Amino acid sequence: MNLKDLDTISIIGLGLLGGSLGLAVNRIFPQVKRLGFSHRMVTRDKALEAGTVDHVFSSIKDSVRNSQLVILASPIGTFASIMDEMADALPDGCLVTDVGSTKTLPARWAREKLPKRVQFLGSHPMAGSEQRGVDYARADLFDDAYCIITPTAAVKPHTTAFLRDFWTQLRMHVCQLTPRIHDQVLARISHLPHMLAVALVNCSDTLEILMCGKGFLDTTRIASGPESIWRDIVCSNPDNIDAAIARLIKELTRIRKALQHGDDRVILDILTEARVKRNNLVEKKLQRKELPV
């Protein structure tokens, strides 16, 4: 299928990501009919009112029956049962993708639960915030962010090309990784920072942090993210996150040794290494227009 032939999509789950996706699709592909599913009536009403989709359904089957592209935008923990439920209703040749933050388990579930007459190819649009819910949906949530798609050997090249094109049109930088590599990398660049922020909040004293400055608040911002969504992410990638935390503890231990030995020179080197590395990162992101100037 070519992107210009796309006429109907279904978004399963109308929270921050699903709602924003509906708004973005409407901005870029105004001709595409957007069908949405949520199990909660209040969410369906809000999603419709905010214009995130054109029609809402309380039945997953009904919401996917006529779609060429089905996008799972609910918490990862719901994917397996949603796939079970939609399997028979998916039309032939339909492409199923998702926006989950881990990719190995969703790919396995798709292999086990979806019929051969449809394709599954995972996506991870790396956008979001610590807010949740359709109230925070924004048409520009995905602009200039990365989207990692994770084709396996079973995915046809033109399907990969189609999905690449879809996210690129939605103003994302698309790259490809295998599900396994995706989960390793994301453990280190996303799940580790999250668990670090969580650990910092939890090891802190409630009264002491009332005096904290902006540094503490920024460092811990992501710890305000919704726990049910993050539980699903973390628990679908435990080994990689465990290894990433171990790597961080090793680095923290290097700092402790320098402190214990009063080795000011090593402390300076460690601080310099971090500043240079982070400033290079910010500069590259500015050059690529991935950050506001």
Contact set for its own copies, span 121-180 (CB under 8 A): 126-129, 145-146, 148, 175
Contact of 47 with 36, CB cutoff 8 Å: yes
Cβ 10 to its own copies shortest distance, Å: 26
CA distance 5 to 56: 22
Site string for its own copies, 239-258 (x = CB under 8 A): x-xx--xxxxxxxxx-xx--
Q: How far is the CB of 58 from its own copies (least distance, A)?
A: 27
Say whether residue 234 binds its own copies (CB under 8 A): yes
Give me the least distance between CB of 165 and its own copies, in Å please.
20
What is the rounded CA–CA span in Å between residue 16 and residue 73? 9
**Beta strands 146-150; 173-176: pairing state:** parallel
Nearer to its own copies, 112 or 218 (CB): 218
Quote the least distance from Cβ 123 to its own copies, whole Å: 14
Binding mask 25-54 for its own copies (x = CB under 8 A): ------------------------------
Question: Can you tell me which of 117, 280, 286, 289 binds its own copies, judged by CB under 8 A?
Answer: 280
CB neighbours (10 Å) of residue 192?
Answer: 18
Residue from the set 7, 45, 140, 227 that interacts with its own copies by CB under 8 A: 227
Residue 10's DSSP bridge partners are 35, 70
SS3 143: coil
Residue 80 binding its own copies, by CB under 8 A? no
Strand-strand pairing, 122-125 and 146-150:
antiparallel
Alpha-helical regions (H) of the chain: 16-28, 41-49, 60-64, 79-86, 104-113, 157-169, 179-186, 192-202, 214-219, 227-235, 238-260, 264-287
Our CB check for its own copies shows the closer of 49 and 246 to be 246
Q: How far is the CB of 149 from its own copies (least distance, A)?
A: 13
| Residue 226 within binding range of its own copies, rule CB under 8 A | yes
286 binds its own copies (CB under 8 A): no
- Which range of residues in 4-12, 62-70, 115-123, 183-191 is near its own copies by CB under 8 A? 183-191
Alpha carbon 152 to chain centroid, angstroms: 19
Indicate whether 268 belongs to the interface with its own copies (CB under 8 A): yes
Return the range that interacts with its own copies (CB under 8 A); candidates 82-90, 135-143, 159-167, 234-242.
Answer: 234-242
Would you count residue 196 as binding its own copies (CB under 8 A)? Answer: yes
Q: Is the dihedral of CA 193, 195, 196, 202 positive or negative?
A: positive
The answer to whether residue 270 forms part of the interface with its own copies (CB under 8 A) is yes
Distance CA 187, CA 238 (A): 9
How far is the C-alpha of 247 from the C-alpha of 243, rounded, in Å?
Answer: 6
